[in-house]
Structure 1
Amino acid sequence: METNDLKNFIDVNRESFEIYDYPQEDWPSISDKLDQSEKRAKSVVIPLKYVWRSAAVFLLLTGAAFYMSWVNWNNQAQEVMMSSELQEAEYYYGELIATKVAHISQLDHNAEQVVFRNMETMDQAFNELKSDLKDNADNEEVIHAMIDNYKIKLEILEQIIEQLEDRKEL
């Protein structure tokens, strides 16, 4: 039905719609009641399923944030442990290498310069390992490779000391 048809229908059948007669004195009281109901605070009713869904989403997001912060904290703790392990190894092996180089210097001053030139190659490899460590590429493997580098340096220095001592005995 179009609006014009509806309007025509109502105009034609108006008398059948107006079967109840309200006295004119009642309209002000009805109007007052309407005004009072509009002034009252309207409460919004939210269906319970939306409350549960919102709570579930909140818990899910909170859990995900907690998990991400825990993983980040755990990784940082591992990095601190790795870095402290590496610092201990650097100090320990650095002291041993320094004493071996000092011993070589006492045995033969010329050999010290040759040893330093040959150790530069190992130092370059060590610096590459340090840059890999900064890139965070498999920290544990890089740290073990760095420690192995120190051990190899010590073995080479010990062999040089043995050869210099054998040469002195001859």
Structure 2
Amino acid sequence: MKQNLERYLKEQRLKLDVEDPEHDIVWEGISNQLHQNRKQSLPHWFWKVAAIFLFVVSATYFVLNETSEKQMVVVQLSDISEELGNKEASLQQVVNAKREIVEQELSAENSEIRFLLNELNNLDEIYATYQKDLNNTIDNEPVIHVMLDYYEKKIKVLNRILLEIEKQENHEETITL
């Protein structure tokens, strides 16, 4: 194909070199096209303003989003009333004491009771959602009662785990005798 083009140019060279373009008509056509393109496109200052606006909006969103998460205050029951705070603290102490006793007495091969302890950890995650609900609506009586009830039920479960551990130890002692 390249050879055909070269051969064509050599053969037609005299005809192609003879014609002279009219410079005035060519430049007039180019300038008309340039003026039409300028009228159709938006001015440069518009794009600068749009870029600045977009930057300001995104920066504002980023700053507000980051600072609002960091400034979120966790509301405790003690923030609502001193009595609720004391009750929560005492229940939390009992839960922690019972949990330590269970951890000490629990053998490593007792998978059923380990499963129950994992379930208690899942309950802790549910408690965290109640904590968030309390943050959203302070003085929400049902949420407060559920939070306190959570501790009481956790104590009951830990007591039952301790009874089960004791029952298993007594059963092992009777078998070995």
TM-score range, shorter chain: 0.3 to 0.5
Structure label with greater radius of gyration: 1
TM-score normalised by structure 2 residue count:
0.46
TM value normalised by structure 1: 0.47
